[in-house]
Amino acid sequence: MENKKSKQKFRPNPKLKLMEQVHEVLRYHHYAYKTEQTYSQWILRYIHFFECKIHPAELGAGDVERFLSHLAVERKVSASTQRQALNALVFLYRDVFDMPLAEKIQPIRSKRKPNLPTVLGGEEIQRFFKHIQGTHALMAKLLYGSGLRLMECVRLRIMDVDFDRKRIRILGKGDKQRNTILAEPVVAELREHIDRVKLLHHNDLETGFGEVYIPEALARKYPAAARETRWQYVFPSRKRSADPRSGKIRRHHVMESGLQKAVKRAAHKAGIDKRVTCHTLRHSFATAMLENGTNIRVLQELMGHADVKTTEIYTHVMNKDISRLSSPLEKLNI
């Protein structure tokens, strides 16, 4: 989310309060709403760390370093959480204050835990899917069958599903697009589900609604696009609600918490003692693909990993049938 340098420089309204300026800049650069919430929380924590006595614009790299070190030493946050806080503060100084942090930030680093991903084997997956039903089961099948991240599944649009080519187009982290496979066993169920979503959208249009969120630049260029069927979410919310930014009444996608709870509940009922989350299903997809002989570079593309080293972690948890391996000594005539 930090690759915003190519965008036109935007100056927030100086008459606004600091956090209003932060929101203004975030929305100008089309940051996701969840990112807006996260960055705002970290900026507020940074301000409160200095007891609101000094305006952040009067602080600098050394103060940012001190705050991040506090997170690692006193708060014991993870490395990813500390990096998230750093990203928020880099944004604040660079894009809101127009004062990029010139010095290299070198705080005390949170220790990275070399945890291997939790994966489910074939028998565990069978037990798991016996205890999850309805739309949540369909979503879980996409996580496991296509390797989707939780929010990638939740944010799927109707036009992203290509039934003819058995593919799903994903808008992943950093707005990077990729294609992944659409498993044959889920095709019929997904078709029926999307037909119901189309009917729901038709009813919304009949009652004067039917808009869905689309990127602002696209909405300006194609004002009618937000009401088109192809832009609707594959997994829409049951109820319409006010958009937190614009105030418009729209049908948003389902809350991710519903699927998270359903996955946790199904794993418990299935008697699986591992810590199972939505991401566990994605990990299990990657591991199973490697075990089935998928080239690791191909898997990297399916998973949307920027670095193949991220994909390589699954080689440490895949089943390796040592009995099928032959020693190089066997090829020598000695």
For residues 46 and 182, state if they share a domain: no
Any domain includes 267: yes
Mean pLDDT of successive 10-residue segments in the chain (334 residues)?
54 92 91 91 95 89 93 91 94 94 79 81 94 97 96 96 96 84 95 98 96 86 93 96 89 96 97 96 94 92 92 83 53 57
Any domain includes 322: no
For residues 133 and 169, state if they share a domain: yes
User: Cα–Cα distance between 82 and 271 in angstroms, integer?
Assistant: 35
By CB atoms closer than 10 A (0-12, 13-18, 19+), residue 29 is middle
Closest CA to 203 of 234, 235, 239: 239
Question: Torsions phi, psi of 232, nearest 5?
Answer: -70, 150
For residues 244 and 130, state if they share a domain: yes
Which residues have a Cβ under 8 Å from the Cβ of 199 and sit 6 or more positions away? none
Question: Dihedral of the CA atoms 72, 75, 80, 83 (nearest 10)?
Answer: -60
Any domain includes 116: no
Determine the number of helices (DSSP H) and then strands (DSSP E) in the chain: 13, 5
SS3 state at 103:
coil
Residues annotated as catalytic (active site), given as ranges: 149, 173, 279, 282, 305, 314
For residues 87 and 126, state if they share a domain: no
For residues 177 and 69, state if they share a domain: no
pTM of the model: 0.79
Which residues have a Cβ under 8 Å from the Cβ of 22 and sit 6 or more positions away? 12, 39, 40, 43, 92, 96
For residues 145 and 202, state if they share a domain: yes
CATH number at residue 174: 1.10.443.10
H-type helices in the chain, by residue range? 18-28, 33-49, 61-73, 79-91, 122-129, 134-146, 150-154, 184-206, 216-221, 256-269, 278-291, 296-303, 308-312
User: Cα–Cα distance between 67 and 42 in angstroms, integer?
Assistant: 11
Q: What is the pLDDT of residue 299?
A: 93
Which residues have a Cβ under 8 Å from the Cβ of 24 and sit 6 or more positions away? 12, 13, 16
Which amino acid appears at position 75 of this protein?
R
Any domain includes 85: yes
Any domain includes 117: no
Which amino acid appears at position 196 of this protein?
R
Any domain includes 185: yes
For residues 128 and 61, state if they share a domain: no
Q: What is the pLDDT of residue 324?
A: 57
For residues 52 and 172, state if they share a domain: no
Any domain includes 115: no
For residues 126 and 202, state if they share a domain: yes
In 10 A of CB 71, how many CB atoms? 23
Give the end-to-end CA distance of the chain in Å, rounded to a whole number: 59
For residues 178 and 287, state if they share a domain: yes
Any domain includes 328: no
Domain count, the chain: 2
Q: What is the pLDDT of residue 330?
A: 54
Q: What is the pLDDT of residue 318?
A: 80
Q: Name the residue range of residue 255's domain.
A: 122-316
Instruction: Check: CB of residue 281 under 8 Å from CB of residue 263.
Output: yes
CATH number at residue 47: 1.10.150.130
For residues 33 and 135, state if they share a domain: no
What Rg value do the Cα atoms of the chain yield, rounded? 23
Q: What is the pLDDT of residue 7?
A: 46
For residues 189 and 237, state if they share a domain: yes
User: Cα–Cα distance between 109 and 98 in angstroms, integer?
Assistant: 26
